[in-house]
Structure 1
Amino acid sequence: MDFALNEEQQMLQASARRFFADRHPLARARRALPWSDPLQQRLWADMAGMGFMALLLPEDDDGLGLSLTEASLVAEEAGRQLVNLPWAASAVLLALWLKAAPRPAPAVLQSAVQAALAGERALHCVAETDAWWDHAGQCSDIVVVRGWHDPAAPLQIALVDASALPCAEALDPTLRQCAAPPPQQQQALQWHTLEIPAEARAHARLAHRLMLAAELVGAAQAALDLSAAYARERVQFGKPIGSYQAIKHQLANAWMGVDNARLAVLYATAALDGSLPDARFACAVAELEAIEGALACTRTAIQVHGGMGFTWEHDAHLYLKRAQHLAARLGGASRALDQVEALALA
């Protein structure tokens, strides 16, 4: 398989990189702005104006009809700048549910996707069984999902006003979270059933997880770039520290981890789009490579920066904590390895 990006994909990646670098630098990520801040709402509207919400929707739904590969490029660039808006949930998971839903689509799903497409609402999806809801206060709505992980159970969603949730700091200082309401309180929510075939539900779930893996690749690449630049500039004993094998080998290993993860994600998106026989296995490998590569790379970034890197005020910690957060959202490296082993043996 040829992993080289075509001209259109390269243009999309370059425009996304410029957009997020200009509109969401790390200084802004540190502020962890709430959805009520006009800057946060303007950023989301501008992302919609760039077409980032419409990538996977068909043209009949005012979309661009592109593939998961193009979506992963945008996700990687968002991860590079530690964007703290729920793009993967709004533009991928909900969009694929709408695409697979029988017509006329459920009104609650149709209105949610169209509002995201217009840049008016930012929706983040959480499972009913999650103990913590991330992006609390940083998006317009939390979409609570029943049957997300159980294909035999009915797929139901309920919308919660995210601005009214009591927020607390998360491990990642660029994000906010809140404890999930108790089960009896969730029972009182207004639930809507989505009649989506099991195969389409599994496809959407895998695609959403691949976007999180792509965000991991972006965060890891940014940490690697930061480390390589520092290793070229920092001089010790009259030579840049990057010329010493102790640093050079660490950066080389980090680069290999990021490159392996990126290639695994690109193949998985192509396999999932093409319904290849090994699509599920490719997705499991991509998750494993992204988690291990991002954690190793962001830890290396702290080591390369020495004593300065160990201070929490340094940007290297932002990448490490985002990598840990996304790894936890995916279930961790052990779960990914178990999935790879199970699918390989099967």
Structure 2
Amino acid sequence: MRELFESTIERLLADLVTPELIRHCEAGHWPADLWAALESSGFAVAAAPEHLGGAGASWEDLYGVVKAAGRHNLPLPLPETMFANWLLGQCGIEARNEPLGISMRSTLSLNHAAKGAFFDAPWVAPAEILVTGTLCDVPWGRDVEHVVALVPGKRTTLILLSRRDAEVSTKQNTAGEPRDDLSFKNTTPIAIADVPADWPDDVIWWGGAMLRTAQMAGALETTLDLSTRYATERVQFGKPISAFQAIQHQLAQMAQHTGSALVSAEAAFAESGSQLATWQIAAAKVCGAEAAGAVAAMAHAVHGAIGFTHEHALQLGTRRLWAWRSEFGNQGHWTQRLGRAVAQGGSASLWPAVTSGRLAALSST
């Protein structure tokens, strides 16, 4: 299934996602035709169980799809929609083949006696259950149909909210991608359910970090390809600049960082199932964030001033690398989280954690 997904998404994005379209979207345009093509492909619901309207695909199957979204600078919330539908499916709620949102930070609360109650099954929320608060930095929040969020309590509750019930404050990240705040006041959820008991309270934070690792890996591939091609074609002093040792050294370093990010991101997806692989996700986010900074800097050094121009494709990817490395936790956040978990487990737990890929303390730090 993975090979089929990768070949399909690659053909689709290669044909439809152009630098001109990306620039148009950064100016505030929603590419309806492109989303319609993605919707028809079924990728938006692929991570949901088959009996709930999805394809039952694993995260290992979908790694190539998320990576392709990063490689082509996809100006749509496809990765977030896939993850939102996975969350819904894991809680027994039917998938939605439409743009969905997730939030990087939330202040939501339930103002009903049912707050923290245990629900035996997902259900349409009655009118007396109301939600108040703000979902911050929702990717394409102004354009999504619904947003999936978590509300803490005695047991964490998943809710599905309509974007039309929210007051939207529009914002953008460094790459010009919408990162909007959605504020709700006494809003009735569309659906509500208790999350699985073994999920971390911040599972959306973990899932968002996992998505960004694959997107950064894809963008790093493109950045390396552009730099290698430019160095081969650009002639200085009678020979391609790729013949100069300083440029060769930079390209080699870029390849090393890109390879590290690719392997670590793929491991995070391959090890994630009904529970997300926290150790692998944290490590991959550290590797990806470090690579993003180093590779983007060296790519612009190789290209010189031309790489910063609006007309050149390089800055479309590097601006996303700079943005994505900080979303759902920057390098410092994940480095500290890994360090605290290792320290909490004690020195005797470090090597077993490395060999098994599991560190019990990590998801609770």
Distance 1:49 1:34, change over 3 A: farther
Question: What's the offset of the Cα at 1:288?
Answer: 0.9
Residues 219-266 of structure 1: per-residue CA shift (max 9 Å, x gap): 111111111110000011111111112111111111111111111111
Counterpart position of 2:262: 262
Question: Quick one: which of 120, 124, 128 aligns to 2:106?
Answer: 128
Counterpart position of 1:194: 193
Question: Quick one: which of 305, 320, 342 aligns to 2:303?
Answer: 305
SS across alignment from 2:198: helix
Counterpart position of 2:33: 42
Gaps of 5+ in 2: 108-134, 346-365
Aligned pairs for 1:178-193 (under 5 A) are: 178-179=180-181, 181=183, 186-191=184-189, 192-193=191-192
Residues 37-85 of structure 1: per-residue CA shift (max 9 Å, x gap): 5xx2221221122231232222222322221012111000011111121
Distance 1:198 1:187, change over 3 A: farther
Aligned pairs for 1:129-168 (under 5 A) are: 129=107, 131-137=136-142, 139-141=143-145, 143=147, 145-147=149-151, 153-161=156-164, 165=168, 167-168=170-171
Distance 1:36 1:141, change over 3 A: farther
Alignment partners' CA distance in 1, 2:52 and 2:27? 29
Counterpart position of 1:18: 11
Counterpart position of 2:272: 272
Residues 148-190 of structure 1: per-residue CA shift (max 9 Å, x gap): 7x895433343223998454554213x2344554xxxx33333
Distance 1:29 1:10, change over 3 A: same
TM-score if structure 1 supplies the norm length? 0.80
Question: Quick one: which of 45, 50, 62 aligns to 1:71?
Answer: 62
Alignment partners' CA distance in 2, 1:193 and 1:208? 21
- When the two structures are aligned, how many residues end up with a matched partner? 314
Question: Quick one: which of 40, 44, 59 aligns to 1:53?
Answer: 44
SS across alignment from 2:102: strand
TM-score if structure 2 supplies the norm length? 0.76
Q: Which amino acid aligns with 1:74?
A: V
Structure with bigger helix share is 1
Residues 271-321 of structure 1: per-residue CA shift (max 9 Å, x gap): 222869xx3211110111111112221222111101222435432222122
Question: What's the offset of the Cα at 1:26?
Answer: 2.0
Q: Does the 8 A contact of 1:209 with 1:330 survive in 2?
A: yes
Instruction: Please provide the CA RMSD for this pair.
Output: 2.9
Q: Does the 8 A contact of 1:79 with 1:218 survive in 2?
A: yes
Question: What's the offset of the Cα at 1:21?
Answer: 1.4
Question: Bigger radius of gyration, 1 or 2?
Answer: 2
SS across alignment from 1:194: strand
Q: Does the 8 A contact of 2:60 with 2:270 survive in 1?
A: yes
